[in-house]
Amino acid sequence: MGSVPSRTVSAQAAAGLTALYPGSFDPPTNGHLDLIERGARLFGRLIVAVLRNTEKAPLFTTGERVEMLREATRSIPHVEVAEFEGLLVDFARQCGASAVLRGIRAISDYEYEMQMALMNRRLDPQVETVFLMPAEAYSYVSSRLIKEVYRLGGSIQGLVPPLVEARLRAKWRP
Ligand SMILES: Nc1ncnc2c1ncn2[C@@H]1O[C@H](COP(=O)(O)OP(=O)(O)O)[C@@H](O)[C@H]1O
Ligand SMILES: [Mg+2]
């Protein structure tokens, strides 16, 4: 009692690891940034990986999403932003990442996230998926809802970084 050596050891071990945080980020929200800040505190290197969508038609190009994320994460140490396509586990191997970071907002995220995590584990048992919860204030924020509310004229202030709001404005109210 009192000392927690095993926790200290694993925190040190995690601090040396590279983690990948993959997603669409169309656009990045404060929920994503909350998760990035938490991940950057846990891992030695956190690579935010923007998926080059093939099926969904994104609002922002991959380049725009990468730019927004770079700007929004500039002050967070050991965070990098990259883009990828293809199998996540292949990109993880290329980056030397041993963990994949994902966010769970509510029970509704759980089913899909568990499927993905178990499929990725089957594809590469070396890569571990780690789930983090955002601050409650962002637990209902999704990129989809942000786009919908903004498009209909509602306020999204405080839910996305100001630079993202400016980009949305430029897209829809030039
Ligand atoms: N507000 C939020 N709080 C915490 N995690 C979030 C939030 N919004 C999205 N995420 C998580 O970030 C990851 C990427 O989300 P998203 O950009 O929607 O890409 P994807 O197309 O992979 O779902 C997912 O794990 C998602 O659950
Ligand atoms: Mg999503």
pLDDT per residue as tens digits for the range 55-106: 778 999 999 999 999 999 999 999 999 999 999 999 999 999 999 999 999 9
Q: Quick check: 117 pLDDT over 60?
A: yes
Provide the pLDDT for residue 12: 59
Provide the pLDDT for residue 1: 46
Strand (E) positions, the chain? 18-23, 45-51, 79-84, 99-103, 128-132
Q: Is 158 left (phi over 0), alpha (psi -120 to 50) or beta?
A: left
Provide the pLDDT for residue 10: 62
Does the CB atom of residue 102 touch ligand 1 within 6 A?
yes
Q: Which of 20, 35, 107 to mutate to test the pocket of ligand 1 (most atoms within 8 A of CB)?
A: 35
Task: Tell me the mean pLDDT in the region 28-53.
Answer: 97
Q: Which of 142, 159, 164 to mutate to test the pocket of ligand 1 (most atoms within 8 A of CB)?
A: 142
Task: Tell me the mean pLDDT in the region 51-56.
Answer: 80
Residue 43 carries which DSSP code?
S
Look up the pTM and report it. Answer: 0.92
Q: Quick check: 11 pLDDT over 90?
A: no
Per-residue pLDDT band at 53 (split at 50, 70, 90):
confident
Q: Quick check: 172 pLDDT over 90?
A: no
Does the CB atom of residue 138 touch ligand 1 within 6 A?
yes
Q: CA 21, 166, 106 angle in degrees (round to 5)?
A: 40
Q: Where are the domains of the chain?
A: 7-172
What are the catalytic residues?
32, 56, 105, 143
Amino acid at 35: L
Q: Quick check: 153 pLDDT over 80?
A: yes
Distance 128 CA to ligand 1 centre (A): 17
Does the CB atom of residue 24 touch ligand 1 within 6 A?
yes
Provide the pLDDT for residue 15: 73
Give Cα separations from 12 to 1, 5, 54, 136 (angstroms): 20, 11, 38, 27
Q: Quick check: 6 pLDDT over 70?
A: no
Q: Which residues contact 172 (CB under 8 A, 6 or more apart)?
A: 150, 151
The CATH code for residues 7-172 is: 3.40.50.620
Q: Are 81 and 48 within 8 A, CB to CB?
A: yes
**pLDDT digit string, tens, across residues 120-149:** 999 999 999 999 999 999 999 999 999 999
Task: Tell me the mean pLDDT in the region 153-173.
Answer: 94
Q: Quick check: 8 pLDDT over 60?
A: no
